[in-house]
Amino acid sequence: MKQKDEHNPLPSRYWEQEFIAQDDAHLVAPKVRYRCPKCESLLLQKEGKNGVFWGCESYPNCDYTASDEQGKPVRAKRYLCPACQSPLRRKSFQDNAFWGCSRYPECKVTVEDDNGVPTTTKKYPCRECGHYLVRKKSKNGYFWGCIEYPKCNHTLNDDKGLPVLRRKR
């Protein structure tokens, strides 16, 4: 058996294997790429007002966005309409964002937005018509209004997110 050479301490076969293994590792290592489920373009990590999120490379042609969870895009959580159980959609209007039922205009339920999450999708039975009351915002603050509005205009006051009976005056 030959003495190991200082400048070439390992047998060449070893290097060959090492090289192959290394190359493999490098091929697997690059960042995982995520594709937009809507248009197949790449998703890009972006920094928004509410933190990191994923947006489509084809924005503004494609408006797909996803939330970020430990560096991966995850579909935004689904919130359901308190009245008809259809998904709620987040909409923005000027500086205001709110959630509206995806069955609009058949279902006119809207829910307040709080940092990308609907404030409440709780429903409260309407004593007038048997439908539901949902939390709404007016210029005087929050209140609970019937989803059948304007057919039914039963409302209750809001106290920290819960409906309370209106005080008799």
Residue 136 near residue 112, CB atoms below 8 Å: yes
Tell me how many residues contact Zn ion (CB under 5 A): 24
Nearer to Zn ion, 9 or 150 (CB): 150
Q: Examine residue 128 and tell whether it contacts Zn ion (CB under 5 A).
A: yes
Q: Examine residue 38 and tell whether it contacts Zn ion (CB under 5 A).
A: yes
Residues 6+ apart with CB under 8 A from 43: 33, 34, 35, 36, 54, 55, 56, 57, 64, 66, 73
* Nearest-approach distance from CB 127 to Zn ion, in angstroms: 8
Q: Which residues, 55 to 74, sit near Zn ion by CB under 5 A?
A: 56, 58, 62, 64
Q: Examine residue 88 and tell whether it contacts Zn ion (CB under 5 A).
A: no
Tokens standing for 4? 């190991």
* Nearest-approach distance from CB 25 to Zn ion, in angstroms: 31
Question: Which residue in the set 65, 73, 81, 121 belongs to the binding site for Zn ion (CB under 5 A)?
Answer: 81
Part of the chain binding Zn ion (CB under 5 A), chosen from 7-15, 27-35, 44-52, 144-152: 144-152
Q: Examine residue 129 and tell whether it contacts Zn ion (CB under 5 A).
A: yes
Kindly report the backbone phi and psi dihedral angles of residue 92, in degrees, each rounded to the nearest multiple of 5, phi listed first. Answer: -120, 140
Number of C-beta neighbours around residue 55 at 10 A: 19
Number of C-beta neighbours around residue 101 at 10 A: 24
* Positions of E strands within 49-127: 51-56, 65-69, 72-74, 88-93, 96-101, 110-114, 117-118, 124-125
**Residues at the site binding Zn ion, with contacts judged by CB under 5 A:** 36, 38-39, 41, 56, 58, 62, 64, 81, 83-84, 86, 101, 103, 107, 109, 126, 128-129, 131, 146, 148, 152, 154
